[in-house]
A and B are shown apart, each in its own frame.
Chain A
Amino acid sequence: MASVIQNVPESARVAQKESGKYPGALVVVEGIDGSGKSTQLYLLKRWLEIGGYRIHFTEWNSSPLVKSATRRGKQRKLLTPTTFSLLHAADFADRCERQILPLLHGGYLVLADRYIYTAFARDAARGCSPHWLRNLYSFAPVPDVTFYFRAPLDVAVNRIVAGRPKLKYYEAGMDLGISLDRAESFRIFQERILNNYDQMIETDKFVLMDGTIPVNRLQKLMRQIVGERVNMEQFAPKKTKKK
């Protein structure tokens, strides 16, 4: 399969160049289901909240505007790889234009649980053209730090399968017709996604996080990296300095 990274269209490059024109910062976590990314981002968020930092947390697939369409499409299994991808892009665009970008321009530290790389890895696993996907999301600002949580496939899959009574149709990649068994389909689908993520480590400057390290140690590491890569002072509670 062609790399998700290659063939970045010109329009995407232009958008990326402009992304530094705001005072805020963007920290995102990526990784397959069960890699521990949401737990770690939650802990990071709690740390910053308790410290009184100017932050905002946002997660994938949460915009009310396109919720009804997504629900209808999923319930009735109407989504093809293309419309699945577009609907999620519309949802992301709404969040990006109405939350993420205004907050970045307003000087917030924005924490995102999953970002455009989720779409690159997942939708390419469904057969969408990587080049088309890169263009589709080229309006999105490039993160200051992208943490990629990586756990071995078996560990991640077992975490999810153990904790859930039933895997959902699209979540398990049943639309791809890989296997009639949901658990089996889920595993193969996640493996494809994992491979796509791995291809982006270098080109998209992912910070690789070992999802098998104990939670508290991993969190310590995450806080340290955020401190190094983001100028935390500008988001700290203001005392004497004024904006």
Chain B
Amino acid sequence: MTDSLPESDSSSNGQPRKTVKQRAGQVRPRRSKKPADAADATASRFYGAPMPGITAEELSGSLIVIEGTDGSGRSTQISLLTEWLESEGFAVQTMGLRRSFLVGEDIDALLAENAVTRMTLALMYGTDFFDQLERRILPALRSGLIVLADRYIFTLIARSAVRGISRDYLHGLYEMALRPDLTFWLSVRPEVAFDREFKKSHSISYWESGRDLSLSNDLFQSFIRYQSMVQKEFEYLSKRHYFVEIDGERSVAEVNAALRKRIARQLGIRGTHYHPSNALAHLWR
């Protein structure tokens, strides 16, 4: 499977993108003249055939994905970005792994038992993903919201790929997923991720250290080896899916500034000045 740049057709008039709503307004009249475009646009917003009844035209919002391992600062950045976007007047919806009403808690239970096998887990995560896609992401995008995804199909593909499930299988599984407008990868070295995670929770989780793969009895070694394997998959995915890689080892403020700059360009926001409110000031270390 090959990928191409996400939805480049909509800016083919040479204008930089304006806000989401303006963009939708610009595009629609043009499409009504050439109805064939609608099918093309739908195809470009999805990796493969979209789910039945979904068309791209009605999705006026933007999907922005933040990927990165535990300890890369994803959740911190999403909290800050949400506040910034809301202050700019954009409504934000978030999604993340295991947050579906349908199976979110069931996956938690499966993980706690450690009895689950790789394929079952991959498909439960797939169920969780598509439930959120259909019930949360697509409705939000139809209403013109900005969806901030705390991880996306790339983490799911990478985790399953290091467990030996074929990449072709995984890409096929997620072919109905929506192509993000922007995908950021907050990359940190496994050693740094280890330090941050240990500081935060004083332990390292069974799954984040890939203990089901029996890589090493030494938990630190197991964590480093597992995270390095996942990172390799990300490097592969990064080229294929045009990730915007950001050095996650920089300070929260620096990473946030880099994210804001790129998102501002995408959404047509002029100024990128932002300072967190008192409620989030503790994150601004």
CA distance A93 to B121 in the complex (A): 9
| Selected interface stretch from B89-97, B98-106, B221-229, B271-279 | B98-106
Q: A78-B102, A127-B52 are in contact. Are A138 and B110 (CB under 8 A)?
A: no
A215 within 8 A of B: no
Evaluate contact between A66 and B106: CB separation under 8 angstroms: yes
**B117: A residues at CB distance < 8 A:** 93-94, 97-98
Q: How large is the interface on A (under 10, 10 to 19, 20 to 34, 35 or more residues)?
A: 20 to 34
Complex-state Cα separation, A131 to B176, whole angstroms: 12
A residues near B (Cβ < 8 Å) are 9-11, 14, 65-66, 68-69, 72-73, 78-83, 86-87, 89-90, 93-94, 96-98, 127, 129, 131-132, 135-136, 138-139
Q: In the complex, A94 Cα to B121 Cα: how many Å?
A: 9
Is the pair A97, B120 in contact by a Cβ cutoff of 8 Å?
Answer: yes
Which chain A residue lies CB-closest to B126? A86
In the complex, chain B residues whose CB is within 8 Å of the CB of A98: 117
Interface centre among B52, B110, B120 (most CB of A within 10 A): B120
Q: CB-CB < 8 A to A132: which residues of B? A: 48-49, 172-173, 175-176
Could you give, for residues 107-127 of chain B, a 1 whenever the CB lies within 8 Å of some chain A CB and a 0 otherwise? 001100001111110111011
With A90-B120, A94-B116 as contacts: A83 and B102 at CB distance below 8 Å: yes
Q: Is the CB of A65 within 8 A of B102?
A: no
Indicate if the CB atoms of B123 and A86 lie closer than 8 Å: yes
B134, A136: Cβ atoms closer than 8 Å: no
Chain B residue with the shortest CB-CB distance to A63? B120
Q: What is the distance, in angstroms, from B121's C-beta to the closest C-beta of chain A?
A: 8
Residues of A within 8 A of B118 (CB): 97
B173 touches A68 (CB 8 A): no
Q: Which residues of chain B in 65-89 are interfacial with respect to chain A, using CB atoms and an 8 Å cutoff?
A: none
Residues of chain B lying within 8 A (CB to CB) of residue A94: 116-117, 120
Q: How many residues from B make CB contacts under 8 Å with A?
A: 31
Q: How far is the CA of A73 from the CA of B51 in the complex (A)?
A: 19
- Interface flag for B218 (CB, 8 Å): no
Top 7 nearest A-B pairs by Cβ distance? A135-B172, A90-B123, A93-B119, A97-B117, A86-B127, A11-B168, A94-B120
In the complex, the answer to whether B102 meets A129 with C-beta atoms within 8 Å is no
For the A-B complex, the count of residue pairs with Cβ-Cβ distances under 8 Å equals: 94
Q: How many Å from the CB of A102 to the closest CB on chain B?
A: 11
| Residue of B110, B120, B130, B172 touching A82 (CB-CB under 8 A) | B130
The contact of A83 among B49, B120, B131, B168, by CB within 8 Å, is: B131
Residue of B nearest to A87 (CB): B127
| Least distance between A91 CB and chain B CB atoms (Å) | 8
Check if B130 sits within 8 Å of A89, measured CB to CB. Answer: no
Contact A86 B119 (CB under 8 A): no
Q: Is chain A's interface secondary structure helix, strand, loop, or mixed overall?
A: helix
Q: B124 to nearest A CB, angstroms?
A: 5
Residue of B nearest to A97 (CB): B117
Chain B min CB distance to A84 (Å): 9
Q: Which residues of the other chain, A, contact B143 by a CB distance below 8 angstroms?
A: none
| Residue B169 is within 8 A (CB to CB) of chain A in the complex | yes
* List of A residues within 8 angstroms of B116 by Cβ: 65, 94
B101: chain A residues within 8 A (beta carbon)? 78
B102 and A96 contacting across the interface, CB-CB below 8 Å: no
- Whole-angstrom CA separation of A78 from B132 in the bound complex: 11
Q: Are the CB atoms of A93 and B120 closer together than 8 Å?
A: yes
Which of B52, B106, B131 is within 8 Å of A81, CB to CB? B52
- B166 interface residue, CB < 8 Å from A? yes
What distance in Å separates the Cβ of B202 from its nearest Cβ neighbour in chain A?
30
Which of A69, A81, A139 is most buried by chain B, counting CB atoms within 10 A of its CB?
Answer: A69
Across-interface contacts of B126 in A (CB, < 8 A): 86, 89-90
A98 to B118, CA, bound (A): 11
A10, B176: Cβ atoms closer than 8 Å: no
Contact in complex: A96, B119 (CB < 8 Å): yes
For A65, what are the chain B residues with a Cβ–Cβ distance below 8 Å?
110, 115-116, 120
